[in-house]
């Protein structure tokens, strides 16, 4: 049995490498990949969130994986949910951590409580690719050369103090290295993620029948609690776990074991 992991935005295949021991301890094979346009993955211009289903199917076929569970963090969350929606014969359960909701989510104030930098980024995406690339040129270049020592300052007011506190040492070095790899050939993956988030996702979340687990940090400023709650309220049978006192980064670091156990229980693999 495999766990297929969807990295955040921006990100690439190794962003869940620090989960490997915990995943292996539960008898699972950890599989990470880089979405189109990131690292050395070819761009797929105009891709939707739902297009990930074809990519994951091809990846699973190539690796001899029949059935799997899946997890996504931040920008990977919608892609994990897409696997639940579109691959019900293979995806046994999905977990989405600190995940954004669809742009036109009825009853959700998308920007309420969100950090100003994220509001500006999504705003640029809504105005189209040219405007978004202008925003990337002005604000994204620092991420292409980020280091463990500079990553906290580069992210600036996007993170609450609880996240800045964990963005140090080995974790900061690994996160920075992954971000550099993600953007080594440019911003295509980041651009296409943002555009996909602000367009129709390519599936109806209310039609999902595969178990979905939504986890959210109470203090998250990149993706606010309302996004996760909106998804949990509309995906049939989904559960919502709010991590008190945690943010966008600290949630996964402090609750990794609980998240994995919850996911396996949802898939009926906990016995």
pLDDT tens digits for range 176-216:
999 999 999 999 999 999 999 999 999 999 999 999 999 99
Residues of the chain with pLDDT under 50: none
Q: Judge whether 43 lies within some domain.
A: yes
Alpha carbon distance 26, 4 (integer Å): 14
Q: Judge whether 224 lies within some domain.
A: yes
Q: CB atoms < 10 A from the CB of 238, how many?
A: 22
Q: Judge whether 117 lies within some domain.
A: yes
Give me the number of domains the chain comprises: 1
CATH number at residue 74: 3.40.50.1820
State residue 131's pLDDT score.
98
Q: Judge whether 249 lies within some domain.
A: yes
Q: Judge whether 271 lies within some domain.
A: no
Helix locations, 50-186, DSSP H: 52-63, 77-86, 116-126, 129-139, 141-144, 151-155, 161-166, 169-182
Q: Which domain holds residue 7?
A: 2-266
Token pair 């997890």 is at which residue?
A: 71
Q: Judge whether 216 lies within some domain.
A: yes
State residue 270's pLDDT score.
77
State residue 144's pLDDT score.
97
pTM, to two decimals: 0.97
Measured CA angle at 52 (ends 71, 123), to 5 deg: 90
């Amino acid at each position: 049995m495999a766990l297929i992991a969807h990295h955040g935005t921006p990100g690439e295949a190794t962003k869940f490498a620090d989960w490997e021991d915990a995943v292996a301890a539960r008898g699972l094979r950890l599989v990470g990949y880089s979405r189109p346009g990131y690292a050395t993955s070819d761009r797929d211009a105009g891709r939707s969130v739902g297009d990930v289903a074809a990519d994951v199917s091809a990846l699973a076929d190539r690796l001899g994986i029949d059935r799997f569970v899946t997890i996504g963090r931040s920008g990977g969350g919608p892609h994990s949910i897409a696997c639940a929606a579109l691959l019900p014969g293979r995806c046994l359960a999905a977990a989405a951590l600190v995940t954004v909701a669809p742009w036109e989510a009825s009853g959700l104030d998308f920007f309420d409580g969100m950090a100003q930098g994220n509001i500006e980024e999504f705003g640029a995406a809504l105005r189209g690719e040219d405007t978004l690339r202008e925003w990337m040129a002005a604000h994204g270049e620092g991420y292409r050369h980020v280091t463990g020592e500079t990553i906290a300052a580069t992210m600036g007011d996007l993170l609450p103090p609880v996240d800045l506190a964990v963005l140090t040492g080995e974790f900061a070095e690994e996160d920075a290295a992954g971000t550099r790899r993600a953007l080594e050939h440019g911003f295509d993956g980041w651009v296409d993620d943002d555009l996909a988030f602000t367009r129709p996702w390519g599936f109806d979340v209310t039609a999902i029948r595969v178990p979905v687990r939504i986890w959210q940090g109470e203090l998250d400023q990149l993706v606010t609690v309302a996004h996760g709650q909106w998804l949990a309220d509309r995906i049939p049978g989904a559960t919502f776990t709010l991590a008190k006192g945690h943010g966008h980064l600290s949630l996964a670091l402090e609750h990794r074991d609980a998240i994995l156990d919850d996911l396996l229980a949802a898939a009926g693999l906990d016995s």
